[in-house]
């Protein structure tokens, strides 16, 4: 994955558009290898995306407009194992926003050490037709003066 995760909190211009959430793995999150299962990361990515939407562009607003975000691609780099009892600090950052697509970067840390990184590419669809649609105009306006905006 060719993502520069250095200075995650400093990359966005104008406004940070970053959310941070803490996770503590439960016994059911642990797999036979005695570490957090890969599927748990996918669930945490979803939790972070929902947090981001509730913070910056409420999901209800998308739903009322008949829109739904769909993930097109997910990449995860597992760097160090997360174990039962670890407190995980995870962050999500809007990395790019285009006419119909978006990208989020994620970082997971335990004791200030990066243990995983992820990237998700998504698109907007009409929830009734399932067809792709443009990014909501109001959202485009929010981000037009930032580094994340892509023509």
CATH number at residue 132: 3.10.129.10
Average the pLDDT over 52-67 and give the result. Answer: 90
pLDDT surpasses 90 at 20? yes
**pLDDT value at residue 149:** 57
- Residue 148 domain-assigned? no
- Residue 151 domain-assigned? no
Q: How far apart are CA 24 and CA 10, in angstroms?
A: 26
pLDDT surpasses 80 at 14? no
Host domain of residue 118: 18-143
Grade residue 17 by pLDDT with cuts at 50, 70 and 90. Answer: confident
- Residue 1 domain-assigned? no
- Residue 6 domain-assigned? no
Average the pLDDT over 21-27 and give the result. Answer: 97
**pLDDT value at residue 140:** 84
151 vs 136, more confident = 136
- Residue 81 domain-assigned? yes
pLDDT surpasses 50 at 9? no
- Residue 53 domain-assigned? yes
pLDDT in tens, 93-145: 999 999 999 999 999 999 999 999 999 999 999 999 999 999 988 888 887 77
- The tokens for 30 are 């642990």
Question: Secondary structure of the chain in the HEC alphabet?
Answer: CCCCCCCHHHCCCCCCCEEEEEECCCHHHECCCCCECHHHHHHHHHHHHHHHHHHHCCHHHHHHCCEEEEEEEEEEEECCCCCCCCCEEEEEEEEEECCCEEEEEEEEEECCEEEEEEEEEEEEEECCCCCEECCCHHHHHHHCCCCCECC
**pLDDT value at residue 32:** 93
Q: What is the pTM of this model?
A: 0.85
- Residue 12 domain-assigned? no
**pLDDT value at residue 138:** 86
Q: How many independent structural domains does the chain possess? A: 1
pLDDT in tens, 62-91: 899 899 999 999 999 999 999 999 999 999
- Residue 57 domain-assigned? yes
């Amino acid at each position: 994955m060719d993502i520069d995760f250095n200075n995650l909190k400093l990359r966005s211009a104008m406004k940070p558009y970053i959310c941070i959430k803490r996770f503590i793995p439960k016994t059911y999150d642990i797999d036979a290898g005695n570490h957090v299962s890969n599927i748990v990361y996918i669930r945490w990515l979803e939790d972070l995306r929902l947090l981001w939407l509730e913070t910056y562009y409420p999901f209800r607003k998308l739903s009322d407009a008949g829109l739904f975000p769909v993930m097109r691609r997910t990449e995860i780099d597992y760097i160090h194992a997360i174990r039962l009892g670890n407190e995980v600090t995870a962050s999500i950052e809007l990395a790019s926003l285009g006419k119909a697509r978006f990208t989020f970067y994620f970082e997971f840390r335990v004791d200030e050490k990066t243990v995983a990184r992820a990237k998700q590419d998504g698109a907007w669809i009409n929830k009734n037709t399932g067809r792709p649609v443009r990014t909501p105009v109001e959202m485009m306006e929010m981000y037009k003066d930032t580094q994340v905006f892509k023509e």
